[in-house]
């Protein structure tokens, strides 16, 4: 089973709203990732959690706030977003992060976010 | 700047032909290489991973890696219309104890019936 589950699948929010994206995996993976993907572009890394600790923040604006409550869950809290933040937000997980071969990353189905 | 380069395509092949997708990368320290398939509006799906020089076959897919030339490719034999998608090459870069995937811009493949 290589399933990563993201909710919701679609989200429309106003610029003053607060919302959260959720991601869950039960593969025992210890690295979890948030990516942002705009149309016709490759995924761009936002955050990496390794063993529930934030290990990479790719200079993401503070209106995006990640949280990793436990080894199976990853959240992305959204506040005061801009229309240009509209994109497909992808969660991924891998067995480990770092040197070694156990780095295959599996993606969830994504959340299509529209900011109005 | 670590880069992964792919031809954006579109690459058009007839049904039953071999589709050849290519990728080059700039960081000689890269150790892990992946091909993802992404259908329009969907998330990337891992189809192949390769870690050592040479060929790796899985069904109709063959990944080829040449670290000296910093080149990785994906061959799809007996291409089917259902293979029509964007194929993303991804390279894992390791800095210290951390690692993350760097994606190419993807090659759009169209298989014509």
Instruction: Kindly report, residue by residue over B25-52, the tens digit of the pLDDT.
Output: 998 888 889 999 999 999 999 999 999 9
**pLDDT tens for residues A89-98?**
999 999 877 6
CB contacts of A90 in chain B (<8 Å) are 43-44
Identify the pLDDT of residue A101.
61
- In this structure, the number of other CB atoms found within 10 A of the CB of residue A1 comes to 6
Nearest CB among A97, A104, A105 relative to B98 is that of: A97
**pLDDT tens for residues B48-93?**
999 999 999 999 999 999 999 999 999 999 999 999 999 999 998 7
Identify the pLDDT of residue A15.
94
Identify the pLDDT of residue A20.
98
**pLDDT tens for residues A25-42?**
999 999 999 999 999 999
Identify the pLDDT of residue B98.
54
Identify the pLDDT of residue A58.
83
Q: Is pLDDT above 50 for B97?
A: no
Beta strands, E only, chain A: 4-7, 10-13, 18-25, 31-37, 44-50, 53-57, 64-70, 73-79, 87-94, 105-107, 111-115
Nearest residue to A87 via CA among A5, A2, A3, A13 = A13
Nearest residue to B101 via CA among A48, A53, A61, A77 = A48
Identify the pLDDT of residue B29.
82
- Which chain A residue has its CA at the smallest distance from B8's CA? A40
Identify the pLDDT of residue B5.
95
Identify the pLDDT of residue B61.
98
Rg (CA), chain A: 14
The whole-angstrom separation of Cα A108 and Cα A7 is: 9
Nearest CB among A88, A98, A110 relative to B94 is that of: A98
Is B104 touching A (CB cutoff 8 A)?
yes
- Which chain A residue has its CA at the smallest distance from B97's CA? A98
DSSP 8-state assignment for residue B18: P
Nearest CB among B36, B51, B97 relative to A98 is that of: B97
The whole-angstrom separation of Cα A32 and Cα A18 is: 22
Across chain B, mean pLDDT equals: 92
**pLDDT tens for residues A45-81?**
999 998 999 988 888 999 999 999 999 999 999 999 9
| Cβ partners under 8 Å of residue A39, min gap 6 | none
């Amino acid at each position: 089973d290589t399933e990563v589950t993201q909710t919701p699948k679609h989200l429309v929010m106003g610029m003053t709203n607060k919302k959260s994206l959720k991601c869950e995996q039960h593969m025992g993976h210890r690295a979890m990732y948030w990516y942002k993907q705009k149309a016709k572009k490759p995924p761009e890394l936002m955050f990496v959690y390794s063993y529930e600790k934030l290990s990479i923040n790719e200079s993401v604006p503070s209106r995006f706030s990640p949280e990793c409550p436990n080894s199976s869950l990853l959240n992305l809290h959204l506040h005061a977003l801009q229309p240009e933040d509209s994109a497909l937000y992808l969660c991924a997980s891998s067995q480990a992060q770092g040197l070694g071969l156990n780095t295959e990353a599996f993606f969830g189905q994504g959340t299509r976010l529209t900011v109005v | 700047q670590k880069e992964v380069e792919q031809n954006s395509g579109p690459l058009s092949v007839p049904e039953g032909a071999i589709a050849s997708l290519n990728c080059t990368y700039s960081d000689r320290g890269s150790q892990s290489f992946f091909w993802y398939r992404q259908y329009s509006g969907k998330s990337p799906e891992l189809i192949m991973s390769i870690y050592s020089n040479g060929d790796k076959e899985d069904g109709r897919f063959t990944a080829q890696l040449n670290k000296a030339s910093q080149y990785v490719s994906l061959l799809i034999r007996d291409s089917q219309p259902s293979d029509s998608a964007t194929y993303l090459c991804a390279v894992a870069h390791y800095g210290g104890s951390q690692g993350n995937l760097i994606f190419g811009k993807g090659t759009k493949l169209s298989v014509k019936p």
